């Protein structure tokens, strides 16, 4: 909240106004700050509106530093986040949502180019925290904990940190030099990263390492298996292992025809990678309809643009010497797929199973008091602490949507809750303001300004290698795009209220300090409220 603002409890006593000449004022304006819908929708809890404002003001480094207070990986997120902030953006009702992810990527890439680093904390708490897993959630927690002054060590079973960002997301979506640069920045804070280390006895490692608390972020690296009758099991591989091998530099022989069984984002990645490995035909076999497919629409559309074929309402019954037998499905009255007893054959040299992923949580089951929901840990949804004091968990290790951004948000929340737990103080949840919905805005103020599009490789050129598909914005484009933000619910000093007030009851306090009301002059006419483009003024009843 701006320090020049006043809440209702701080308003002056205006009871004497009832004795003045003219109509008695029954209502009065106050300045407010509402919650922008983009901020509300961000799983990482970024203050999106604020860093967009700073980009608009040509303060790029300040914008980056504001962004990384909540999310240390803007170059990564600008590429792989499914940007629910844009789905919530009010500007989509006008001429297209603000391309928030593109501006975020611009800031992330600029930081890498210019070598910007995090500012180390000046103090040390003397506390040690162990993080299990070097994926997005573990790295996010490590960053936040290090910034709070704790000594942090990450232990991970893979050869290099990054988790599914490195071993699951293909390079054409996330170049590895970008990933390495943003992880290195966390390491430069003093976070120790121990790789090729499988934890089998967590309590023992905690005691031997003198760690005061633990954050578990093991990720979901195990593919769900399904029994499919097959005459040649070597032709069947799981998607997670397939993507991990390719990310590690292996180029498996898959033949010219590949079938991918599943309908999620991992299935789309596997099918697209198969095309880049030389498969002339890459076919998705999915037991439900396109509308029921869990993959994000953009993933499906890009896969289809690259020549991936979709076989809806099909399930694999068996894998024979050179083809598959698939049963044709139909939806019952509840929208669930059921077999029809009709079959067809598809040629395939390799079958890739992408039927979901599970966490390898077996080593945690040895800990007394730890509870599970199938393969994931049960945690307090507010604090993310397990039933074992001092052991927190997040990301894919707990019930949640499995995305990079959700994982980063969990890491931040767990770090702050863990910090409060170590200090034996209650963690205070910030008060959420009312959301600034589209109907609250006076959009006549804003002219047409179409969304900036990022450059993309042509589909025919994409499948020849693993080069990045989507390009970034130029400096000029990023600043133009940031300027499209409507500043929903928060004053941006347009001077509209100042110019509209017939009583000169509004006082401008100087750039960046906004305004205040002179209630001795204000008549409560609401002209300022009615013209404010972003609903930064509210009318309340006179006290």
Task: Report how far apart, in Å, the C-alpha atoms of 370 and of each of 376, 378, 385 are.
Answer: 11, 8, 11
Q: How confident is the model at residue 23 (pLDDT cuts 50, 70, 90)?
A: low
Task: Report how far apart, in Å, the C-alpha atoms of 295 and of each of 269, 299, 302 are.
Answer: 10, 7, 11
Residue-averaged pLDDT of the chain? 91
What are 388-413's pLDDT values in tens digits? 999 999 988 887 888 999 999 999 99
Q: Does a structural domain hold residue 431?
A: no
Q: Does a structural domain hold residue 485?
A: no
Cα angle 389, 394, 397 (rounded to 5 degrees) comes to: 100
- Whether residue 97 sits in one domain with residue 241: no
Nearest-angstrom CA–CA distance, 169 and 175: 9
Q: 203 φ, ψ to 5°?
A: -60, -40
- Say yes or no to pLDDT of 443 above 90: no
Helices (H), 95-175: 100-114, 136-147, 164-167
Nearest to 193 by CA among 246, 261, 134: 134
Q: Does a structural domain hold residue 486?
A: no
CB atoms inside a 10 Å sphere around CB 103: 30
- Say yes or no to pLDDT of 21 above 70: no
Helix (H) or strand (E) holding 208: helix 202-208
Task: Report how far apart, in Å, the C-alpha atoms of 522 and of each of 18, 504, 507 are.
Answer: 13, 8, 11
Share of the chain above pLDDT 90, in %: 79
Compute the Cα dihedral for 120, 124, 125, 131 and give only its sign. positive
- Whether residue 528 sits in one domain with residue 497: yes
Q: Does a structural domain hold residue 366?
A: yes
Which of 326, 357, 388 terminates a domain? The answer is 357
Q: What's the pLDDT at 228?
A: 81
User: CATH number of the domain that 266 lies in?
Assistant: 3.50.50.60
The single residue listed with the structure tokens 């980063």 is: 408
Q: Does a structural domain hold residue 42?
A: yes
Q: What's the pLDDT at 18?
A: 41
Nearest to 533 by CA among 440, 429, 416, 405: 440
Specify whether the CB–CB gap between 151 and 124 falls below 8 A: yes
Which of 334, 357, 380 terminates a domain? The answer is 357
Q: How many domains does one find in the chain?
A: 4
- Whether residue 94 sits in one domain with residue 46: yes
Nearest-angstrom CA–CA distance, 162 and 136: 7
CB atoms inside a 10 Å sphere around CB 12: 13
Longest Cα separation, the chain: 96
Q: Does a structural domain hold residue 107?
A: yes
Nearest-angstrom CA–CA distance, 144 and 138: 10
- Whether residue 257 sits in one domain with residue 192: no
Nearest-angstrom CA–CA distance, 249 and 269: 16
- Whether residue 156 sits in one domain with residue 260: no
Specify whether the CB–CB gap between 170 and 246 falls below 8 A: yes
Q: What's the pLDDT at 371?
A: 92
CB atoms inside a 10 Å sphere around CB 384: 27
Structural domain harbouring 108: 37-117+443-472
- Whether residue 328 sits in one domain with residue 242: yes
Helix (H) or strand (E) holding 421: helix 404-422
User: CATH number of the domain that 17 lies in?
Assistant: 3.30.70.20
Q: 323 φ, ψ to 5°?
A: -150, 180
Q: How confident is the model at residue 16 (pLDDT cuts 50, 70, 90)?
A: very low
- Whether residue 243 sits in one domain with residue 205: no
Q: What's the pLDDT at 397?
A: 84
Nearest-angstrom CA–CA distance, 493 and 509: 10
When pLDDT is averaged across residues 272-297 and rounded to a whole number, the result is 94
- Whether residue 348 sits in one domain with residue 277: yes
Q: What's the pLDDT at 230?
A: 74
User: CATH number of the domain that 83 lies in?
Assistant: 1.10.1060.10
- Whether residue 233 sits in one domain with residue 311: yes
What are 25-35's pLDDT values in tens digits? 789 999 999 99
- Say yes or no to pLDDT of 133 above 60: yes
When pLDDT is averaged across residues 281-301 and rounded to a whole number, the result is 93
Specify whether the CB–CB gap between 258 and 283 falls below 8 A: yes
Report the number of secondary-structure helices (H) and strands (E) in the chain: 18, 21
Q: Does a structural domain hold residue 165?
A: yes
Nearest-angstrom CA–CA distance, 359 and 224: 10
Nearest-angstrom CA–CA distance, 519 and 516: 9
- Whether residue 329 sits in one domain with residue 235: yes
Q: Does a structural domain hold residue 1?
A: no
- Say yes or no to pLDDT of 535 above 80: yes
- Whether residue 331 sits in one domain with residue 259: yes
Q: What's the pLDDT at 69?
A: 97
| Bridge partners of residue 63, in order along the sequence | none
- Whether residue 365 sits in one domain with residue 340: no
Specify whether the CB–CB gap between 102 and 96 falls below 8 A: no
- Say yes or no to pLDDT of 269 above 50: yes
Q: What's the pLDDT at 231?
A: 60
The token duo for 250 is 């292996």
- Say yes or no to pLDDT of 8 above 70: no
Nearest-angstrom CA–CA distance, 324 and 214: 46
| DSSP letter string, 308-371 | -EEE-SEEEEEE-SSEEEEEEEEE-TTS-EEEEEEEEEEE-SEEEE-S-EE---GGGGGSTT--
When pLDDT is averaged across residues 146-168 and rounded to a whole number, the result is 96
Nearest-angstrom CA–CA distance, 356 and 31: 49
Nearest to 457 by CA among 468, 466, 447: 468
Query: Exposed, middle or buried, 96 (CB in 10 Å: 0-12/13-18/19+)?
Result: middle
Q: How confident is the model at residue 45 (pLDDT cuts 50, 70, 90)?
A: very high
The token duo for 468 is 């990045």
- Say yes or no to pLDDT of 78 above 50: yes
């Amino acid at each position: 909240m701006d320090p020049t603002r006043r809440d209702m409890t701080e308003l002056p006593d205006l009871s004497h106004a009832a004795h003045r000449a003219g109509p008695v004022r029954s209502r009065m304006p106050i300045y407010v700050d509402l919650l922008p819908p983009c901020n509300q929708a961000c799983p990482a809890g970024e203050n999106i509106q604020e860093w967009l404002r700073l980009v608009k003001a040509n303060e790029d480094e300040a914008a980056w530093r504001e962004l990384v207070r909540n999310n240390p990986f803007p170059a990564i997120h600008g590429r792989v986040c499914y940007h629910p902030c844009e789905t919530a953006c009010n500007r989509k009702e006008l001429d297209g949502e603000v391309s928030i992810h593109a501006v975020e990527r611009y800031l992330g890439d600029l930081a890498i180019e210019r070598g910007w680093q995090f500012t180390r904390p000046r103090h040390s708490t003397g506390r040690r925290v162990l993080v299990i897993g070097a994926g997005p959630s573990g790295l996010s927690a490590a960053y936040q904990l290090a910034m709070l002054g704790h000594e942090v060590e990450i232990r991970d079973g893979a050869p290099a940190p990054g988790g599914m960002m490195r071993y699951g997301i293909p390079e054409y979506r996330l170049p590895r030099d970008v990933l390495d640069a943003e992880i290195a920045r966390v390491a430069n804070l003093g976070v120790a990263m121990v790789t090729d280390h499988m934890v089998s006895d967590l309590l023992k490692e905690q005691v031997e390492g003198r760690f005061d608390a633990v954050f578990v972020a093991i990720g979901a690296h195990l593919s769900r298996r399904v029994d499919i009758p097959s005459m040649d099991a070597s032709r069947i591989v799981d998607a997670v292992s397939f993507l991990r091998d390719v990310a590690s530099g292996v180029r498996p022989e898959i033949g010219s025809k590949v079938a991918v069984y599943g309908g999620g984002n991992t299935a789309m990645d596997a099918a697209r990678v198969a095309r880049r490995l030389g498969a002339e035909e890459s076919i998705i076999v999915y037991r439900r309809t396109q509308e029921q497919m869990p993959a994000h629409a953009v993933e499906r559309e890009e896969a289809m643009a690259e020549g991936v074929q979709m076989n809806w309402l099909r399930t694999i019954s068996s894998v024979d010497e050179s083809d598959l037998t698939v049963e044709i499905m139909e939806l019952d009255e509840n929208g669930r797929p059921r077999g029809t007893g009709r079959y067809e054959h598809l040629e395939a040299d390799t079958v890739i199973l992408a039927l979901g992923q599970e966490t390898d949580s077996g080593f945690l089951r040895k800990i007394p008091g730890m509870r599970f929901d199938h393969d994931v840990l049960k945690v307090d949804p507010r604090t993310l602490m397990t039933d074992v004091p001092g052991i927190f968990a997040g990301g894919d290790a707990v019930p949640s949507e499995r995305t990079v951004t959700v994982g980063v948000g969990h890491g931040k929340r767990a770090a702050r809750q863990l910090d409060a737990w170590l200090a034996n103080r209650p963690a205070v949840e910030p008060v959420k303001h009312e959301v600034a919905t589209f109907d609250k805005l006076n959009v006549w103020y804003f002219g047409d300004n179409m969304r900036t599009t990022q450059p993309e490789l042509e589909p025919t050129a994409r499948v020849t290698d693993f080069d990045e598909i989507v390009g970034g914005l130029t400096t000029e484009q990023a600043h133009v795009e940031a300027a499209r933000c409507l500043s929903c619910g928060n004053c941006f000093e347009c001077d509209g209220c100042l110019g509209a007030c017939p009583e000169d009851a509004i006082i401008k306090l100087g750039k960046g300090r906004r305004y205040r009301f002179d209630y001795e002059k204000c008549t409560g006419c609401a002209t300022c409220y009615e013209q404010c483009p972003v609903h930064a003024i509210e009318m309340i009843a006179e006290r």
